[in-house]
Amino acid sequence: MANSLIVVESPTKVKTIKKFLGKDFNVVASMGHIKDLPKSTLGIDLEKDFEPTYNVIDTKKKTIDELQKAAKSAQNIYLAPDPDREGEAIAWHIADIIGAKKNKNIYRVLFNDLTKNTVLEAIGHPLQLDFDKYEAQQTRRILDRLVGYQISPVLWDKVKRGLSAGRVQSVAVRMICDREDEISKFIPEEYWNLTAQFEGINPPPFEAKLLKIDGKKAKVANGEEAQKLAAEIKKASFFVEKLEKKELKRSALPPFTTSKLQQEASRALRFSAKKTMSVAQKLYEGIELGKDGSVGLITYMRTDSYRIADEALTAVRSYIKENYSTDYLPRKPHEYKNAQKTQDAHEAIRPSTMAYKPQDIKEYLTPDQFKLYQLIWNRFVASQMNPAVFDQTTIDITGAGCTFRAQGQVMKFPGFTIVYTESKEEKEEENGNGTDKLLPLLKEQETLKLLKLDTQQKFTQPPPRYSEASLVRELEENGIGRPSTYAAILSTIQDREYVTLEKGKFFPTELGKVVTELLVHSFPTILDLAFTADMENKLDAIENGENKRVKTLHDFYKLFSKELDKAKDEMRNVKREETPTDLVCEKCGSPMVIKWGKNGRFLCCSNYPECKNTMNFTHDENGKVKHVETQTTDVKCNKCGKNMIVKEGRFGQFLACSGYPECKNTMNAAKNENGEIVAAEAPTTTEICELCGKPMAVKRGRYGQFLGCTGYPECKNIKRMGKDGKVTKQEVVLSDETCDICGKPMAVKRGRYGQFLGCTGYPECKNIKKMPKNKPAE
């Protein structure tokens, strides 16, 4: 029987680690967190130094039973969740449940990678649980709960139910809104570029751009100036005033940190930050590689450090020496300096071993896993290679008081670029200076012939909208969040519908703009970038033992509670606001006003509730409000026979009965081959309704897709669908209970408050009962 127990987070890690250990070790998974703050209440005692109340997560009760059973026979318990703050919290909660007062030897082990040497070394030299790191995690969790659970109800009251605010997510949305505001206020300025084509004694002809006029930086403001200057240039004689040749070296970039990996995967692979971290997690935990079993391919992927272990440097230098010429191998390993605020708890992201080349194991990896592993591999190898070397030539050409400049470069030695070159943002690519063009052999004072002169109108551009890569970079540079939180931030602000990602760029939604405006006005401290960054520094100080949780929370809440009390009384009540317009209701003749609803701003009749007329609106080129014409279709309502009209909802266009509010029937909309809007038929599935025997069809509701009986409205049976869009098969579990109204069997069903018994005679009989206490959950 195993005398030692190792607890990791995921089942994949169990397989990877087990093969390194003997029969004396039992390895089990906690499946992530086992405790958390309650969902239905604040869970923080404001009167007792913000003491948190942790509850066992409902879905983890079976896991806890299994952990406790495994711990009974073990004398030594090694807690090995991920080596970060969240992992430390998991370790503390596991220790509290399975061994805190049972005379067990409880240790903390940290795996930077899941190779045999690392695992055995960690178990051979176990650590104690890190209280300071746990305190830092608790502080962050409590701060986020205080902000989220106390600001959100204010937004429900003032804007609409279901909204949320977050200590870090709201700051990220503010950054996107601020950038959009900059773009909307930006006034483009005209300027002109002049590009000349010259020819010397030796071929080929080459282009040069206007650099200076009378010794000053060239500024050509309009077409008239450009044409006047061009006329003078065409009359002038030109010669080579200055010719400079020099050798340039471009050094390799350091290996990836979390933020740099997310940025590069976004640019090069078009991966979202969330997808990057998900794929990286699998590579870290282990991939089945045939006879080698489960192998952890990369080091821990949440890090802000460039540090590399000595044995890894030795391995990669040997790899470079064996696979490339010695010209590519530097005399000494490259050492990269960390930023001042780096935690340096883990190494940079690198292959855990050089034994598995990407191409050699491609057959075992998914396409996404291969792409990301190859990216990490190439960046790591390149980081320990010699610089690329270029010969750069710069030519200044003078005539008529104007100086033109041409630049070109020739690669002498590829260096690290033979393995890896960093991708660029689209704007960076567009603004490339073309330094790789071919130039002729020239001499200083050599006379040149002007072959052609082009003038090109340009306009200054506003700052670009954030991409995932540039937003992660901006968050990092401003000290907002930490490596483990970037992906969650970007995912959350989209899930909350505060921003959308369109063609790779973030746009704030109308809801995002309204909420951000309210929060910035009412919570200037919480929404301040510098304040948020300073709070991250305080969390780091707690982890380093230089600060205390209780003091940090008291200092924060002293400021926050004042703004919170003020916001409850003074925040604009957007729900009740009405903006007058010049439009008139076509149903009753009353003025139309702009109000805020669950799908944003809309026009409604000021005579509400007597008249419930509503319509969408837009603005014309002069900013004047105009209503969007209602589009009537030939589709007939299957309930009252009236024509259906096209409406806009949170999921796009749909058909609604023109007889509203007397008839509230709606249908999904689709377009036929002629582009006409018709009623979309819900796709039927192979699922059969167990109540009436008709096929089930895929439908969409407020909580996403579900299966609904095609016999609706006579049969209202529905079933859930999984997040992957597949049917979550749910057989009706019949109970021993019978309906005391109609005598039919009762079935186990699930509602918003959990399981209950419902009559199988539904909808004719709507009898329900509580689940008997002795009935096991399905």
Instruction: Kindly provide the residue ranges of all beta strands, DSSP E only, lying in 159-293, ordered along the sequence.
Output: 190-199, 206-213, 216-217, 238-250, 287-288
Helices (H) and strands (E) in the chain, counts: 17, 38
DSSP 576: G
Our CA angle for 657, 663, 666, nearest 5°, is 45
Please state at what angle helix 529-543 crosses helix 169-185, rounded to 10 degrees: 150
Residues linked to residue 45 through DSSP beta bridges, in sequence order? 51
How far is the C-alpha of 679 from the C-alpha of 684, rounded, in Å? 15
Alpha-helical (H) ranges within 186-309 are 223-235, 258-264, 273-285
Our CA angle for 50, 52, 54, nearest 5°, is 175
Residue with tokens 């409604």: 604
Helix (H, G, I), strand (E, B) or coil at 392: strand
Name the phi and psi angles at 274, rounded to 5. Answer: -65, -45
Nearby residues of 233 by Cβ (< 8 Å), 6 or more positions away: 194, 196, 399, 400, 402, 450, 453
How far is the C-alpha of 709 from the C-alpha of 699, rounded, in Å? 9
Q: What tokens appear for 276 in the block? A: 């990057």
Q: How far is CA 718 from CA 348, 705, 729, in A?
A: 49, 11, 11
How far is the C-alpha of 29 from the C-alpha of 32, rounded, in Å? 8
Q: Which amino acid is at 762?
A: Y
Buried b (16+ CB within 10 A) or exposed e, 449-468: ebeebebeeeeeeeeebbbb
Q: Is 324 a catalytic residue?
A: no
300, 306, 466, 762: which one is catalytic?
A: 300
Name the nearest CA neighbour of 9 among 30, 39, 24.
Answer: 30
How far is the C-alpha of 295 from the C-alpha of 2, rounded, in Å? 23
Name the nearest CA neighbour of 614 among 634, 631, 595, 589.
Answer: 595
Residue with tokens 């449940």: 97
Our CA angle for 60, 62, 63, nearest 5°, is 60
Which residues have a catalytic role annotated?
Answer: 300
